[in-house]
Amino acid sequence: MNAPLPHVSPLAAFDAEWQRLDFLVWCLSRNRHGETIDEPEVARLRELQARVVALREPGGLWEATMGFGLTPVEYDVLVCVLAPELEPRLGWAFQNLQANGAQPWASRALIQELLALDVGQGELLRRALEPGATLRRRRLLRMEQDGPYRPIAPEPWVVARLTGRPLDLPPPPGATLVDQAAAWGDLVLPPSRIAMLREFLLWIEQRETVVEQWGGQSVGGPLALFAGPSGTGKTFAASVIANELGWRLYRVDLGRLVSKYVGETEENLNRLFDAAHGQPMVLQFDEADALFAKRGEVKEARDRYANMEVSHLLTRIEAHDGPCILTTNLRKQLDSAFTRRFQMVVEFPRPDAASRTELWQRLLPPRAPVAPALDRRFLADAVALTGGGIRNAALHAAYLAAGAGGAIGLAHIAHAVWRELAKEGREVNLQDLGPLAAYLPMEVANDD
Ligand SMILES: Nc1ncnc2c1ncn2[C@@H]1O[C@H](COP(=O)(O)OP(=O)(O)O)[C@@H](O)[C@H]1O
Ligand SMILES: [Mg+2]
């Protein structure tokens, strides 16, 4: 299970950083007014300085919190960048100290002045903020544009990490939050598939034991492939896993991502993964076929570019340190070179008659009035819908019954199943309803 959130914000432990920065702000205002800093104040600054150095030591609080260490200049920048978010009074102070103070974020010019850096140190500061430098590469901060007077803001994940708050991001481009109640007991799948899903959960839950304590190799991920026709419960199963962990599930449509954002895809994905890193979230990538379907088929330069990007994408997903579930409707076209890259490959079958009975049982609204003649086994035998199809038909039947002001009867179900079958776009015949056909209202059957 995920660790309970600590009661005290871990932020308090960084207090020396904000106190020191507060002090530097005070010094700077005095300085700007031509006032001097006296010996007792210098002593106070030295004392704060020493406390800050202790936090920044290898193995110290910063490193423990972030998972990596930084240079002294980088820590100084990071603290200045985080301050307006974590200590709002410092945001006001920054705003007042900058001539164009319409926002609370410090610019490089302000940071340089705050830290009283000379020309040579200023150059170090400039380099620390270059696009390839650690602070940018690790996505600790963001600058809309380079330049000494541009505001520098922290990336939300750093703030979340330091405060111990869950990361409440707007979904990254192409991602949506999937928020549905779904538990093991709701999932209708063969026992072997449930077992595989539980094993996948072990890869997430027991990671600390296997990797940290037992020295097991850390392979990234874990990565699962859910393969099966639409409506067989792939997203539902992903929700069960996320709910079991108490984590959130984000869904990304890879097909859209790959085709719409050619060129920007990598940047978008990097943002997504940085946001997800170390966060209690499960990422689900739909239409994973986009990752392999077109491989090798190069017709124009754009295709080659897309191909390159696509194989890169899978590598990038693999490198992510957190659970990812890829889903696909096409099982047959997957070669073993592809499937070997997953810790778990789970096939989602179309439900058999026994499963469909279960699904009808669960998916009719639990408190709906239901006609006594409504035998779930009869419905299951009549038409081989997927779980998704049964869910839609059961709900549609409920609305029909509610509209008619009565209990859900076989006519409502026949009507709803007819509509569900017609959605697939092909011609629907009465035979497709099996024995349910006898209950289909004439006006529905003749209406096309
Ligand atoms: N195996 C299943 N067990 C329980 N419910 C299912 C199952 N398959 C589908 N459903 C129902 O159908 C809905 C749609 O299924 P979904 O998980 O979105 O399918 P997929 O992601 O495979 O296209 C689910 O929200 C759930 O209500
Ligand atoms: Mg789905």
The better pLDDT of the pair 385, 9 is held by: 385
Paired with 345 in beta bridges are 225
In a domain, 170, yes or no: no
Smallest-distance ligand from the CA of 193: 1
Q: Which of 325, 347, 369 is the last residue of a domain?
A: 347
- The tokens of 355 are what? 């499963």
Per the structure, the count of domains in the chain is 3
* 186 CA closest ligand 1 atom index: 4
DSSP-derived secondary structure for 185-232: GG----HHHHHHHHHHHHHHHTHIIIIIIT-PPP-S--EEEEE--TTS
Distance of alpha carbon 28 from alpha carbon 125, whole angstroms: 18
| Whether the CB of 157 sits within 6 Å of ligand 1 | no
**In this structure, which residue's CA is closest to atom 14 in ligand 1?**
388
Q: Write the pLDDT tens digit of every residue in 120-146.
A: 999 999 999 998 788 987 778 988 788
Distance of alpha carbon 349 from alpha carbon 363, whole angstroms: 18
Same domain, 343 and 357: no
Distance 405 CA to ligand 2 centre (A): 33
Q: Which of 326, 347, 368 is the last residue of a domain?
A: 347
**In this structure, which residue's CA is closest to atom 17 in ligand 1?**
233
Same domain, 326 and 423: no
| Whether the CB of 233 sits within 6 Å of ligand 1 | yes
Looking at residue 163, its pLDDT comes to: 86
Same domain, 262 and 320: yes
- Mean pLDDT confidence for 59-69: 85
Q: Which of 163, 187, 209 is the last residue of a domain?
A: 163
The better pLDDT of the pair 170, 404 is held by: 404
Distance 178 CA to ligand 2 centre (A): 10
CATH number, domain containing residue 366: 1.10.8
State what percent of residues in the chain have pLDDT above 90: 56
Same domain, 309 and 365: no
| Whether the CB of 189 sits within 6 Å of ligand 1 | yes
pLDDT reading at 309 higher than 80: no
Same domain, 99 and 149: yes
Q: How many CB atoms lie under 10 A from the CB of residue 26? A: 14
| Whether the CB of 174 sits within 6 Å of ligand 1 | no
Q: Write the pLDDT tens digit of every residue in 352-400.
A: 999 999 999 999 999 999 999 899 999 999 999 999 999 999 999 999 9
| Whether the CB of 52 sits within 6 Å of ligand 1 | no
Look at the chain and count its residues. 448
Smallest-distance ligand from the CA of 358: 1
Give Cα separations from 85 to 7, 48, 55, 333, 410 (angstroms). Answer: 20, 21, 20, 49, 59
Query: Residue 308's pLDDT band (boundaries 50, 70, 90)?
Result: low
- Mean pLDDT confidence for 78-87: 95
Looking at residue 269, its pLDDT comes to: 77
Query: Residue 4's pLDDT band (boundaries 50, 70, 90)?
Result: very low
| Whether the CB of 271 sits within 6 Å of ligand 1 | no
**In this structure, which residue's CA is closest to atom 27 in ligand 1?**
391
Same domain, 322 and 373: no
pLDDT reading at 246 higher than 60: yes
Amino acid at residue number 274: D
Same domain, 376 and 314: no
- The tokens of 408 are what? 């859900």
In a domain, 142, yes or no: yes
| CB-CB contact of 322 with 281 (8 Å) | yes
Mutation pick for ligand 1 pocket among 192, 196, 226, 236 (CB with most ligand atoms within 8 Å): 236
CATH number, domain containing residue 225: 3.40.50.300
In a domain, 4, yes or no: no
**In this structure, which residue's CA is closest to atom 25 in ligand 1?**
236
Smallest-distance ligand from the CA of 285: 2
| Whether the CB of 231 sits within 6 Å of ligand 1 | yes
Looking at residue 2, its pLDDT comes to: 42
Same domain, 144 and 66: yes
Distance of alpha carbon 236 from alpha carbon 189, whole angstroms: 11
pLDDT reading at 8 higher than 60: no
Q: Is the dihedral of CA 151, 270, 268, 278 positive or negative?
A: negative
Same domain, 149 and 183: no
Write out the residue range of the structural domain in which residue 377 sits. Answer: 353-445
Looking at residue 310, its pLDDT comes to: 61
DSSP label of 324: E
Smallest-distance ligand from the CA of 350: 1
Q: Write the pLDDT tens digit of every residue in 255-299.
A: 667 655 556 667 777 778 877 876 778 999 988 877 765 444 545
Looking at residue 43, its pLDDT comes to: 94
pLDDT reading at 224 higher than 90: yes
Distance 387 CA to ligand 1 centre (A): 5
In a domain, 168, yes or no: no
| pTM of this structure | 0.67
The better pLDDT of the pair 48, 447 is held by: 48
| Whether the CB of 414 sits within 6 Å of ligand 1 | no
* 388 CA closest ligand 1 atom index: 12
Distance 353 CA to ligand 2 centre (A): 22
Same domain, 112 and 243: no
Q: Which of 147-161, 193-207, 306-320 has the lowest mean pLDDT?
A: 306-320
Looking at residue 313, its pLDDT comes to: 75
